[in-house]
Amino acid sequence: MKVAIGIDIGTTAARGIGVDEAGRVIAAAASPYPLLAPMPQWTEQDPARWWQATQVVLAEVVRRVGEQRGSVAGIGLTGQMHGSVFLDASGKVIRPALLWNDQRTSRQSGWITERVGRDRLIKIAGNPALTGFQAPKVIWLRDEEPASYRRVAHVLLPKDYVRYQLTGELATDASDAAGTLFLDLRTRNWSTEICEALEVDVSWLPRVCESPEQTGTVRPGVADELGLAPGVTVAAGGGDNAAAAIGTGIVREGMASSSIGTSGVLFAHTSSPVIDAAGRVHAFCHAVPAAYALLGVTLSAGGSLRWWRDVTGHDYPSLVADAKEIAPGSEGLLFLPYLTGERTPHADPDARGVFFGLTARHTLAHMTRALMEGVLFSLRQALDTIRELGVHPASIRVTGGGSASDLWRQLQADIYQVAVQRLTVDEGAAYGAALLGHVTGRTFHDVDEATTLVRPLPETDEPEPEAAAIYEDLYAVYRGLYPKTAEDMHRLSALATR
């Protein structure tokens, strides 16, 4: 029995799964690591902890696969996007990696915009300069830690550091590279124009491959330690959102997914680059060779509910059960989920969370439901922007922690005003990475063949007309709140750092 392993280098843990040639998950393991916050709005991790966790996870998955008499055909990698791993000429990590949700680079983002020009940057890279992306992090290192900057010989994304340890190869894939701001979206390779404008040595960047392409094999010593046979191939893999799209079968026009994890993501497949000149949604390369995607991102989706759980001291089941008893619209209460700034459509690291419309009638349950509704209103703004660009998903496949909740799913159907569908296997990015591992391991000819294993459940959650009408009216109010309060949000953000 052929098995492929998918490894996901997440924000809080490394997760690995073994997927057999029939698409069944036959083994799974996870290993956590800490998130570092040395300053307000800074997030970092030690890349060594990613590799340590990966070794634990791989060894456990390989052991469980062996117990079921499976042989590992290939490994696929995925992980958190945008992070910056800085290596010296000997391959040693210079400093902790700056992560996707690190907000320290506002000044550097502005400098990049001035150097390249906002319109030109969006035309080449498909995106404006945002604090989360890799390029501003490189410039921050130059500005703030020049001694470390002088040592840089390689700049890698998180999953690609694990690849380097696993295979000795310096490589990435087009979907993850598209989130660096160094990639030319159309050529699917590094932009010499951007690199020259920013005075960044393009040789620091790894070679760019397509997601199912082989990027070496597991090093013999590592294979021995993990119990792998010699010569197991490693696929280029993909950024977490693109890999999750493979795992949910979003591989053709008219298909989109909605993921509610720590962040929330709307992902729509496009067969050619569709770029929003205003930079409200991301244009990225897909993990499907030669294909593309539009992404809208809410930074604090499930993260908002986690914050609320921690603040209230209640667990998720009780919070959601009580929220389910509240009528749609939470009696006129709205929530802006900007707890860590916001990405789509505002691209504002200083945006702040808000409960708006509180009255003496509102209870904790009202506030929980309003919070969940607010997360979906934010993602609805992303969906509306995608629709404005001429991409109209006929239905949406739901994934992430939100897909397991009846309330989260129904809210998505009612607020998006489109049917939403679950999958028989919901393992997210790790599942997509495993399918890519199967392709590079030659279990399947290509991504299209591999994704025939992705099967939706027959049941769908349909919009409820009465609730959808209520949400449409509330959504109009929601959209007006940020423009009216943004200036004061920025003033509060500045005061908080005094």
Q: Give the pLDDT score at 179.
A: 96
Between strands 233-235 and 71-79, the pairing is parallel
For 161-170, write each residue's pLDDT tens digit: 999 999 999 9
> Is 80 exceeded by the pLDDT of residue 149?
yes
How does residue 246 score in pLDDT terms, banded at 50, 70 and 90?
Answer: very high
Question: Would the CATH topology of 2-240 be identical to that of 249-425+464-498?
Answer: yes
- Look-up of token digits 């992430």: 400
Mean pLDDT score of the chain: 95
Q: Which CATH architecture describes the domain 2-240?
A: 2-Layer Sandwich (3.30)
Between strands 2-9 and 334-336, the pairing is unpaired
Show Cβ contacts of residue 356 under 8 Å, excluding neighbours closer than 6 positions.
333, 334, 335, 336, 481
Give me the mean pLDDT over the 391-403 stretch.
Answer: 88
> Is 90 exceeded by the pLDDT of residue 417?
yes
Give me the mean pLDDT over the 270-293 stretch.
Answer: 95
Rounded to 10°, the helix 134-144/106-116 angle is 110
pTM score of the predicted model: 0.91
For 441-487, write each residue's pLDDT tens digit: 999 999 999 999 999 998 899 999 999 999 999 999 999 999 999 99
Give me the mean pLDDT over the 398-411 stretch.
Answer: 90
Helix, strand, coil shares, percent, the chain, to 5: 40, 25, 35
Bigger pLDDT: 170 or 69? Answer: 170
Q: Give the pLDDT score at 392.
A: 93
> Is 80 exceeded by the pLDDT of residue 97?
yes
Question: Can you tell me the distance from the alpha carbon of 173 to that of 187, in angstroms, rounded to the nearest whole number?
Answer: 13
Active site residues: 240
Q: Give the pLDDT score at 75.
A: 98
Q: Give the pLDDT score at 1.
A: 87
Give me the mean pLDDT over the 374-380 stretch.
Answer: 97
> Is 80 exceeded by the pLDDT of residue 498?
no
> Is 90 exceeded by the pLDDT of residue 386?
yes
> Is 90 exceeded by the pLDDT of residue 63?
yes
How does residue 395 score in pLDDT terms, banded at 50, 70 and 90?
Answer: confident
For 310-347, write each residue's pLDDT tens digit: 999 999 999 999 999 999 999 999 999 999 889 889 98
From the options 3.30.420.40, 3.40.50.980, 3.30.9.10, 2.60.40.60, give the CATH code of 249-425+464-498: 3.30.420.40
How does residue 136 score in pLDDT terms, banded at 50, 70 and 90?
Answer: very high
Question: Can you tell me the distance from the alpha carbon of 362 to that of 189, in angstroms, rounded to the nearest whole number?
Answer: 53
| Buried-state track 271-305, b at ≥16 Cβ within 10 A, e below 16 | eebbbbeebbbbbbbbbbbebbbbbbbbbbbbbbb
Show Cβ contacts of residue 379 under 8 Å, excluding neighbours closer than 6 positions.
258, 264, 266, 296, 298, 301, 412, 415, 416
> Is 90 exceeded by the pLDDT of residue 261?
no
Q: Domains of the chain: which residue ranges?
A: 2-240, 249-425+464-498
Q: Is 486 helix (H, G, I), strand (E, B) or coil?
A: helix
What Å distances lie between residue 57 and 25, 32, 61, 248, 464, CA to CA? 15, 10, 6, 23, 42
Give me the mean pLDDT over the 407-416 stretch.
Answer: 96
For 98-118, write each residue's pLDDT tens digit: 998 888 999 999 999 999 999
